[in-house]
Structure 1
Amino acid sequence: MSGQLAELNLEELREVVAKVLDIEAEELTDDADFVDDLEVDSLMALEVVVVLEKKYGVKIPESELKEFTCLSRAYELLQAKVQAR
């Protein structure tokens, strides 16, 4: 595992996603739905995915994007990818 790649941490993930979405980290609760609660559109979602892929050194296939519904779910999916890299 490369030392350059960030380790996955829920609070850090919250900060990263909040920054991309241009919202306060406090607004990004673990189970706030990205689309329904935070009004994330497909372009914003893609931007989040690109940032996460670069930061954590993982690839998120387009087929899995629909599973990234909230922060806790994104964390679970990323955790599995980070452990598998």
Structure 2
Amino acid sequence: MSVTYSDPAGAAPLDMDELRGIVADILEVDATDVADDADFMEDLEVDSLMALEVIVVLEKKYGVKFAEAELRQVVSLRQAHDLLTQKLYTR
């Protein structure tokens, strides 16, 4: 099941499956391996450099900037989705 949020201003929702595909491409894994709550480092064996690459790609794709403290929060797809949703729809 895909979780999406819609913006009251009418912008396209942030689709969890689209985000899953982006992260899977960066990590060079199958999208089915990127479960919503899979820990990037523990479950997917992502090192800190690869985790940084995920963040950089998401910042560029969605036009947002993560504060250093927020970077530590993004350890799973769900957390990335929640933080992106917050940033995109509270501008």
TM-score per shorter chain, which class? Answer: 0.7 to 0.9
Displacement of 1:39 in angstroms is 0.9
For the Cα contact (< 8 Å) 1:31–1:71, is it kept in 2?
A: yes
- Partner of 2:20: helix, strand, or coil? helix
Number of aligned positions between the proteins: 80
Task: Identify which of structures 1 and 2 has the higher relative contact order when contacts are C-alpha pairs closer than 8 Å and 6+ apart.
Answer: 1
Is structure 2 residue 72 aligned with structure 1 residue 66?
A: yes
2:89 matched residue in structure 1: 83
Percent identity of equivalent pairs: 56
For the residues of structure 1 that align with 2:68 and 2:52, how far apart are their CA atoms? 9
Point out the structure with the larger helix share.
1
Gaps of 5+ in 2: 1-11
- Partner of 1:45: helix, strand, or coil? helix
For the Cα contact (< 8 Å) 1:34–1:70, is it kept in 2?
A: yes
**Superimposed CA distance per residue, residues 18-69 of structure 1 (whole angstroms, 9 cap, x where no aligned partner):** 0000000000000111111011111001100110001111001122111001
- TM-score, normalised to structure 2, is 0.82
User: What amino acid sits opposite 2:19 in the alignment?
Assistant: L
2:15 matched residue in structure 1: 9
Displacement of 1:7 in angstroms is 5.0
For the residues of structure 2 that align with 1:55 and 1:18, how far apart are their CA atoms? 15
Larger Rg: 2
User: What amino acid sits opposite 1:34 in the alignment?
Assistant: F
Gaps of 5+ in 1: 1-5
Pairing partner for 2:32 from 26, 29, 51: 26
